[in-house]
Structure formats: structure tokens, C-alpha cells
Structure 1
Amino acid sequence: MTGPLSSGCSRPPVPLRLVALACLLAIALSVPALLSRVAAERQVDTLDVALVDSALRTWEDARDVGDQRALATRLTDAGVRTVVVGMVSVSEHLQSGALVAVVGSGRRGRGPVPKELAGPGPATVLRGRTGDQVFARVVDGLRREFGDRVTVATRPSPAGPVPYVRVDGTKDVSGVSLGYDVDRLRRLVAVGFRVVVALPTAVESRPSWLRREVDRAVRLTGSTTVLALGPLPFADRPADAAAFAEFLAARRLDLAVPDLGPTPGAALYAARLPGRIVRAHVVPVTRQSVRDLDRLVVRGHRAGKERGVSLLVVRPSPALSPARATDGVSELASRTRAELPAGLRAGPPTAMPAVEPGLASQLAAFGAALLVLAVAGAWLVGTPVPFPTVLKRRASSAGPSLEWRALPRGAVAVVWAAVGLIGVGALVSGRLVLWQLVTLAVAVAGASLGVLVALGMSEPPAPQRLPRRTLAAYGLGVLVATTTGLVVAALGSRSVMLVGAVPFLGVKVLLLAPPLVVAVVGALRVGSGTPRWTVDLAAVARRVRPHHVLAALAVLGAAGYYLVRSGNSGIAPGPELWLRDALDQALYVRPRFKEAFLGFPALVVALAGRWTTLPRWMWGAVAAVGTASLVDTFAHFHMPLALELLRSAYSVVIGLVVGSLIVWWWRGRKKDADVSDGAVRSPAEVSPS
């Protein structure tokens, strides 16, 4: 199959005006869901700085009451108005010396124990202090966890009887929670701190005990927020988790969850607590970070404006001296609250209001998704695809033969219908994973379509028409990608996604698939010039040279690095991190490098240059990195929609400027080469080729 399609410069398979109208219709269908999302996002505008209780407790151990009050005043004046208070555990009493592990719990070897507690088998034996009230509370907590496996005895001493406790069947009880320190809570409230109650990361007891502890703590402190710094309670016990979530809802308590990384159990709790989820960000203060507080301030602000974080939890390192930790935390809190970006204000943590689009909004967003898929499928109809064919064996035939055929409408329609059925199943069953599969399919199709549409705006025009035609093609490709992003944002406009409890499914697939789709389509259209050929794998293997292998490994390595560095936890070199922080401060939200400095400049180069067919498609495959990244920006559902649009606008404009500069430099270079060679060429031949 030969002809215009094989060069990638034919008449577009779908009229360009129809593509533009389809984009506008898809945006209109997405508006209802997007409006409900924007209304909720506008209400999350506070940023609170909280300090973990364990750090404050360490600093106050050697101070009298007057020093404690002075320290509290200094912290509150700096902006630390909230303290995160966790449960006391056996490990804390072991560290303070109130308990000593005689057997087990990290103890190596054995020590003297009462005869009543000596015996074979694995066990933990702890020794308390004479007359200390801590020991009774520890015993109560251990009996709650281990029941009749707990035995208590004493040994006489000159100062009085020394208490011991043995727990049979376990070698470590340091993680057992003993509840909240009531006296501690009262002191924090007395000096003017707000309290956020931290939930334990592991609860072996029944939910009733945890409910009693939390209820007592919030009544004493007036707290309205509980925080999960690790796995949520009963994450592996859905029935108990549901009961505890109902308790939180009945007490009108907001649940704060970390913003980075999946939190076990977050999806279950978020589904049962719509409108009561607060996003939190943990800020570690170490020796190194104290020397560079600017970076912590910038990243704290970034968490607030880009990820909907309303609670910054400052956690100083135990390696810091009390004085240095106090100075670092005070300066960090003061600068964070004093230099808040526009749109944020200091105040108690705010929960994201519930966002649950009605059936009409969901159907409209689903219709927009089907529309994008339909245009993408129609654009691929007629693409030359190699099909195996049976030929009579000839002497020249060394293997199976292939011939080109146009991709039929029926095959595209079947795929479109399959995605539609998955979407209908998601609407009927409420299964979020099915809805996410539809979202992923739309994202990949639309990101690929943006580049294919831009490249398909007919053959490169004459030089005098080049700028206008290039801008038109660039604008249409950007419109398709942005439309896809808005449709994806509409599909993800529901509470469990907006608070980050359920992340977007298939981020890596979205980032890799569009460049691969564009590259494959280009290879098919370029290679379709030969109507039929014979596949001889042995002959292909004989032609492989070491530099082919090295090139393939380089491409795979680049793709791997491209994927690994993507995402909130992706790797990035130090200079790039510095540049990100600088752009955040200068532009309010930084453009994504994959879009502004790679993908969109490549799209301009592909459109503006009079390339031969193969290089044009190679540039197009690189350009798909930009459109995929733009769609992925809108798949960051926790990011406010206005910031997603602003970030994308920066990328589009910067990409256009950078790409134009590359084209201008390349043409100047070609002109110089032609003059030095003494060649006489037409203006059209001076363009990149």
C-alpha cells in the first residue's frame, strides 16, 4: 500500500474542523463535573503548621514548668499553634527508663526475675520502678492485648517491692499502645496549643477500646482532627474499619492522611468519610535541612497550593540538639506562615468538601470520553497494517510473507464498544477500577491523537505560509491534548480521588504509551511503501551489529529513566530540584520539564521543518512525551484545576518559544552551510530536512 498516508502528509482522515468541534463539545460535556470540583477546591485555602508531640516531650524532659511555658510561647509566637499527640507505647517507657526489659523486647541475655515468672518458652519480662504509677498502666495495656498470658510478681528491695510483668508467647511488646496521656493533653491545652490526635498505626484490640481512647482525648482537648501517620487502624479488617469510620463521622472528626505515598486503608476511610478528609504533609527537620530552610519553606508552600495540603506536620530529627531544633522549627513555622502564596491563609486544617457528581454529570463526562475515543479511532482508520498472507513457496522465499492492508473501521469500532461497555459497567456497579480503566484509555488515546492531528494537517506548506500553518497545527494539537486532560479531570472528580486516597491508575502507562503509539503509527506509514515482503528472521539477525544493540539499550535506558523520575517520588538531580524551587517561587506553579523543554519544542520542530518522512515521525514520537505529560497533569486529581490549567499554559507557551528558537537556529545553520559550499538553493530547500 503506497500513497499519501505512507508519508504521513495526506489529507486528514477526519476533517480538522470536525476535530475542533468535537473538542469543544467534549469540554462542554465535562463542565458540570468540573464545576462541582472547582467549588470544593476553593474552600480548601488554609495551611496550619503542627509539631509532633514526641519532639516537644523530649525538649521538656529536663525543664521546669516555667521553661516549658516559655518554650510554648516561643513556638506559638512563631506560628506553631498545633501539636500532634500520639499514644504512649511501651517503647517510650523503655527509652525513658521507667521500664527495663529483663527478657525480650530488644534485651540480649537474661536477668534476675522472680521465681513466679521464670519458665521455659518465649516470653518478655519487664521490670518497673518502686512506687511508679507507670507500671500499673503498662500492665493494664498488656492485659488488654494479651489477656491471661500476662503475669505480675514482685521482688523485695531496700527501697520497696520492685514490680515485674511477664508476657508469654512473645519476645517483643515494645509496640503495644497504652492510650493517650491525659495529663499531657491537659498541659498542652493549658498553654494554648490546638491538639490533633494521632491514631496508632497498629491496633490488635477491639475497636471499642480505640473509640474510648479517641473520644476521651477529643473531649479533653476540643480537637476536631485525627491524624494517621501510618496505616489506618484496622486497614486489614474491613468490618472494624467501617465501624471506626462511622464513629469518626458521628463525632464529626476530620481524618488527616499524608499526601505522599499510598496510605493503607485510606481508600476505605475516604469512601465512608466524604467531606471529612484533610491532606497532611510531613516535614522532616534534620541537620542538613536546618542549613537550607528555604527549600523546606518552598516545598511546604508547594504542598499547600499544588496538592491541597492543609496541615504541615513538622518532625524534628532526634539527632538535633533541643536548642537547634527549637530554632529550626520556629524559623520554619514563622516563614511558612508569613510568606504564604496567594490563595492560602494561615488557619486550622480544612477538609476537602464532598464531591460526588450526580448521575447526569457522570453520564455527560462518560459521553465526553466516548467522543474523544471515537475521534481517535476514526483518525486511525485506514492506517496501513501488515497482515500475514499465505503464498506459494518460491526459491526466493525464506519465511512467512506479509502484506499491507488498511485498518478497517470494524476493528476500531469493536475496541470503542469494548471501552464503552466497561464504562457502562462502572456506572451500574460503581466499581472504581472500571472507571479508572476508561479514564486510562481516554488519556492514552487523546494524548496520542494530539500529535497525530498536528502532524496530519497536510504536507508542510510553502515557506511564506509556514509560520501560520505551523501555529495552527500546534494550536490544534494542544487543543486536543488539553481537551483530553479536562475530560480526564472530569472523570476523576470525586472525593476519593481528589484527596489522593485513590491515585490515578496507570501513570507509567500513560507516560509511555502515547510516544510508543505515535512511533508505531509512523513506522507503519513509512514502511508501507513496499506492498509485500518476506520475513526472514535469520537474515534480520545476521544484519544486527553491535551499534544496533547499543542504540537499543540506550533507548531502553532513556525510557527507564524517564519513567523512574516521574511522579511525586521520582528521582531528579540536585540542580533540577533547585530550578524547580526557583520556578515555583517565580511563576507560582512550575511548568513540567517534559512538556516545556522536551515534548512541545519537539512538536514545533516536527511541524516547522521540511523533514523527510522518517525524521518527522521521530520528532512526533518525542512530541508525544509532551502531550502525555500534559494529560498526566490533569490526572493529578489532588491538584486544583486552576493550577493544572496554569501549569499547562506555561508549558505550551515555553515549548512554542523554545521550539521556534531551535528551528531558527537550525535554519541559520543550514544557510551558513549552503553559503560556504557555494550552493544555490531555493528558500524551500533551506528548511530542516
Structure 2
Amino acid sequence: MQGGRRRLDASVAPEYDLPTREPRLGSARTARLVMIGVFSMWVVGTLGAASSVVAVDVPGWVERPSAALLMLVFTIGLIHRGGGHMRIWVPIVTALGTAAVVLETYFLLASSAVVCAVLAAVWAVLVTRPAASVLAAIREYALALVVALSGTVSVAAWNAPVNYQRFNFIVVMVSLVVAIALVWNLGAGLHGLGRQNLAILAGVAALLLVILAYSSFVRTHGSQAVVDLFSDIVVWSRQNFEGVPRPVEVFIGFPALIVGVSMRSTRREGWWVLVFAVIGTAVLTTSLVTPGAFPTYVGLSTLYSVILGLGVGLIVRHYVMRERSARAARAIEPIERVEPPRFAALK
């Protein structure tokens, strides 16, 4: 009998560790046609909604129907990915979008904008796949941002007269609640996180609270010198770079997206990191909600946030994904975690 440490047998490919529901459509051809139809709706809706922020020769009445179409696409994508009941939520969202387009009341427009922002922010994260390499992580990062940006133009197309601070807070909080519920439902409960992963989550949560609490305190109770300093920095950035990176996206939301999809390639707990990524996509979807917002300024601010957030995320990924120790590497063969395809239900 040969001595030495026993190793986990990784010769057999791992299976997905959660039960998934039966396919909604029995025919593969029908399912493919439906997927093409939903994708076409997303493209048409995005182009129509983008006319609200880009000067093109398109009738003004196209904007809100396009936003309503995108809201339906976000609902279908999120409900299907999360394994929810399509027959319940799709009619509700369709009725809300139709009523908002026809009646154009303040409450319906604001509600539709909130629903669009929340659905796009959460779906942008759930549509990602595990990424074992740096290039794969960047690919998933770009895909999530594209989906979130389509939510941004859909919110802008509603042109709802809302208070930005209140709207942003509501969207971020609701998006977090929805994301936590979905992640918990995917079996990624707090059990089995381990000390290191729990410490990472606690650290990110603490950093988020510090940033939000400090920014709120400075705005309301900060000294005039500190307020003037921040104002001068913002003005200087706008004058020289025509945009200002958003700290919540740079240091929390976007890095969490890179780290989360990377961790999911080996550990299911990566879903909990992606909960914080929803904060970044939610802030992005609300960036054009104010009718007086300058698209060029918001676009450049987003670009700077995306670049800086990617850099921070890759640095954090390097330290999170490296081997714990040589002893741990000898004890177990690294295996790649399996998940369903991108457009299949996760549960």
C-alpha cells in the first residue's frame, strides 16, 4: 500500500450541484426561435431607447414604447435565468409598461423606470458565466456592462420626473434585495463560506458602508472646507477630463463583478461577491434618469469608472484566485465548476 496524502479524484468531470427545472419549450427549434425573437426585441428596444440620448432623426413617440419593450425583455431574461414563473410576472410587467406608455402619469412613469433599472441591473449579473481565466473574466465583465447600459438608455427613455438621489437609493436597495433573494435561492447560503470568503464579503460590506456613510455625512454635516475640496476636485475633473469616475463603481461594484465571475469558476460562493456587483450595475442603470443629465459627461464618467474598476478588479482577482498554500495544492486537484449554459435556467 502506497503511503502519502490522498488526493481528491478530479478525473471525473463535476456536475452542476443544483437541480434545474425541465425546459419550458420541448422543441429545440422552437426554443431557438424564441431566443432569436427575444434577442431581436432587445436590439430593437435598445436602439429605440437610445434615441432619447443620441440625436437621431426618429419620432419622439418611439422612446417610451422602446423602453417598455426592453422592460419586457429584462423580465423574460431574469425570470428565465432565475427559474421563476414566467406566466405570473410577464403579464404584470406588460400591463405596467402598456399603462405607462398610454396614460403617462407620474407614478406609472417613475415605477416603470425603477422596474427597468432593477431588472437590468440584476439580469446583467445573472447572465454572466464562470470565468477561469483573465480573458474570460474581462469578456463576462464587458457583457454585463452592455446589458446594464441597455438598462441605462431604457431608464432615460421613460423621461420620468424623479429626484435622482431618491431614485438611485431605491434602485440600489431593491436590486440588492432581489439579488440576495436569487443568490440564496441558488443554494449559495452562508453555510460553507469558510473564513476567508466570509472575511472577503465582510470587508466589501464594511467598505460599502464606509463609503456610503461618509459621502452622506460629508454632504449633510461636513465642514465647508471639506465640501469645497470635493467640489473643486469634481470641477477640476470635469474641466480637464469632462467626466468624473464614480467611487462606488470603481472600488466596489465593478471589481466585485470581475472577482465574482472568477470565483464562480471554482467555488459557488462567488455568487455572494456578485451581490455587490449589482451595486455597480444599479448605479450605472440610474445614471441618465435625470432629464437634464448631459449624456457626454455621463458617458465619459462611465468610461473612466469601467477602466479603473477593471484595473482594481484584476488586482483583487490576482490575490483572491491564487493558491492558498502549497500544502492545499497537494491535497486537492483544482477542478472547474460547472454551470448551465448562459441562456439556460440556473435552478
> Fold conserved (TM > 0.5)?
yes
Aligned position for 1:503: 163
Residue 616 (structure 1) shift: 1.7
1:432 and 2:131 aligned: no
Go from structure 1 to structure 2 and tell me whether the alpha carbon gap of 1:604 and 1:566 turns closer, same or farther (over 3 Å shift): farther
Partner SS state of residue 33, structure 1: coil
1:612 and 2:244 aligned: no
For residues 121 and 151 of structure 2, what CA distance do their matches in structure 1 show? 7
Go from structure 1 to structure 2 and tell me whether the alpha carbon gap of 1:484 and 1:448 turns closer, same or farther (over 3 Å shift): same
For residues 85 and 227 of structure 2, what CA distance do their matches in structure 1 show? 46
Say if 1:599 and 1:627, in contact at 8 Å, map to a contact too.
yes
Match of 1:666 among 310, 320, 340: 320
Partner SS state of residue 647, structure 1: helix
Partner AA of 1:654 in structure 2: L
Residue 485 (structure 1) shift: 0.7
The structure with the greater share of residues assigned to helix is 2
Aligned position for 1:34: 53
Match of 1:445 among 119, 128, 136: 119
For residues 52 and 159 of structure 2, what CA distance do their matches in structure 1 show? 9
For residues 469 and 445 of structure 1, what CA distance do their matches in structure 2 show? 24
Identity of aligned residues (%): 19
For residues 240-262 of structure 1, the C-alpha deviation after alignment (integer angstroms, 9 at most, x for no partner) is: xxxxxxxxxxxxxxxxxxxxxxx
For 1:285-684, list aligned pairs within 5 A: 360-362=59-61, 364-381=62-79, 407-427=84-104, 431-454=105-128, 457=129, 460=130, 463=132, 466-492=133-159, 503-504=163-164, 506-526=167-187, 562=212, 565=215, 569=219, 578=229, 581-582=232-233, 585-586=236-237, 587-609=241-263, 610-613=265-268, 615-668=269-322, 670=323, 673-675=324-326, 679=330, 682=333, 684=335
Residue 480 (structure 1) shift: 0.8
Go from structure 1 to structure 2 and tell me whether the alpha carbon gap of 1:424 and 1:622 turns closer, same or farther (over 3 Å shift): same
For residues 9-51 of structure 1, the C-alpha deviation after alignment (integer angstroms, 9 at most, x for no partner) is: x99x998887765543223102433245x99xxxxxxxxxxxx
Residue 556 (structure 1) shift: 11
Partner SS state of residue 666, structure 1: helix
Partner SS state of residue 639, structure 1: coil
The structure with the greater share of residues assigned to strand is 1
Partner AA of 2:146 in structure 1: L
Say if 2:243 and 2:297, in contact at 8 Å, map to a contact too.
yes
For residues 570 and 5 of structure 1, what CA distance do their matches in structure 2 show? 48
Structure 1 gaps of 5+ residues are: 40-357, 385-405, 529-550
Partner AA of 2:75 in structure 1: G
Say if 1:589 and 1:647, in contact at 8 Å, map to a contact too.
yes
Q: TM-score, normalised by structure 1?
A: 0.37
Go from structure 1 to structure 2 and tell me whether the alpha carbon gap of 1:562 and 1:608 turns closer, same or farther (over 3 Å shift): same
For 1:240-259, list aligned pairs within 5 A: none
For residues 571-597 of structure 1, the C-alpha deviation after alignment (integer angstroms, 9 at most, x for no partner) is: 779889856744653533211111111
Aligned position for 1:266: none
Residue 512 (structure 1) shift: 1.1
Partner SS state of residue 184, structure 2: helix
Say if 1:422 and 1:435, in contact at 8 Å, map to a contact too.
no
For residues 612 and 443 of structure 1, what CA distance do their matches in structure 2 show? 29
Say if 2:78 and 2:122, in contact at 8 Å, map to a contact too.
no
Residue 420 (structure 1) shift: 2.0
Residue 646 (structure 1) shift: 0.8
Partner SS state of residue 243, structure 2: coil
Q: TM-score, normalised by structure 2?
A: 0.69
Go from structure 1 to structure 2 and tell me whether the alpha carbon gap of 1:480 and 1:21 turns closer, same or farther (over 3 Å shift): farther
Go from structure 1 to structure 2 and tell me whether the alpha carbon gap of 1:26 and 1:566 turns closer, same or farther (over 3 Å shift): farther
For 1:104-253, list aligned pairs within 5 A: none
Partner AA of 2:163 in structure 1: P
Residue 612 (structure 1) shift: 2.4
For 1:74-93, list aligned pairs within 5 A: none
Go from structure 1 to structure 2 and tell me whether the alpha carbon gap of 1:682 and 1:562 turns closer, same or farther (over 3 Å shift): same
Residue 640 (structure 1) shift: 0.6
Go from structure 1 to structure 2 and tell me whether the alpha carbon gap of 1:678 and 1:30 turns closer, same or farther (over 3 Å shift): closer
Say if 1:591 and 1:651, in contact at 8 Å, map to a contact too.
yes
Say if 1:485 and 1:632, in contact at 8 Å, map to a contact too.
yes
Over aligned residue pairs, what C-alpha RMSD do you find?
4.3
Residue 367 (structure 1) shift: 2.5
For residues 19 and 600 of structure 1, what CA distance do their matches in structure 2 show? 27
For residues 578 and 569 of structure 1, what CA distance do their matches in structure 2 show? 12
Partner AA of 2:296 in structure 1: A
For residues 420 and 445 of structure 1, what CA distance do their matches in structure 2 show? 13
Residue 636 (structure 1) shift: 3.4
Residue 472 (structure 1) shift: 2.0
Go from structure 1 to structure 2 and tell me whether the alpha carbon gap of 1:433 and 1:578 turns closer, same or farther (over 3 Å shift): same
For residues 217 and 97 of structure 2, what CA distance do their matches in structure 1 show? 29
